Amino acid sequence: MGILQKFSDALGLGGKEINVQEYLDSEDLENLHDPEEQVAAYVKPVALESVAVISEIKDELKNGNLILLNITPMLKNEKVLMQIIDKLRDYAKEIRGDIARIDNEKILLTPSKMKIVKRRR
């Protein structure tokens, strides 16, 4: 064992693969919400499987919730995807919310009076 490996192990950095999804799915993290706690808004994951999802997204935004939109199911139909994104962009502007691409498969939409910091690096 090399000296760098010893330092890594001492700092807790060595050797172990971290499965973030497994950690996030653990029961301890799922039960953090106190049912009596007042919640101002939710972050709702939505899969873009058809045009019909647009009304669900609009309703959630009206209720003040954030939408984390997974566009993966619609990536094969680029024309329809662009039309849906245009409609969502127009709606976000109409309600004074915001929309931004998070990565190649995710889009974030915010309700009224909530903006996304968009920095290009």
Distance in angstroms (rounded) separating the CA atoms of residues 90 and 21:
34
Position 52 in a domain: yes
CA distance 89 to 49: 18
Mean pLDDT value of segment 96-121:
92
The more confident residue out of 21 and 77 is 77
Q: Residue 10: inside a domain, yes or no?
A: no
**For the purposes of burial, counting CB atoms within 10 Å of the CB of 82, is it exposed (0-12), middle (13-18) or buried (19 or more)?**
exposed
- Domain of 72? 36-110
**Domain containing residue 70: CATH number:** 3.30.110.150
Domain assignment present for 1: no
| Residue 2, pLDDT score | 59
- Domain membership of residue 12 (yes or no) is no
Please give the tally of structural domains in the chain: 1
Q: Is residue 51 part of a domain?
A: yes
Mean pLDDT in residue range 7-33 = 61
Q: Among 38, 24, 46, 39, which Cα is nearest to 109's?
A: 46
By CB neighbour count within 10 A (0-12 exposed, 13-18 middle, 19+ buried), where does 98 fall?
buried
> Which runs of E-coded beta strand occur in 1-121?
43-47, 66-70, 98-101, 106-110
According to the model, what pLDDT value does residue 6 have? 57
Question: Does residue 58 form part of some domain?
Answer: yes
How far apart, in whole angstroms, are the C-alpha atoms of residue 44 and residue 108? 10
Instruction: Name the most confidently modeled range: 9-13, 24-28, 115-119.
Output: 115-119
Tokens read off for 111 = 């309700």
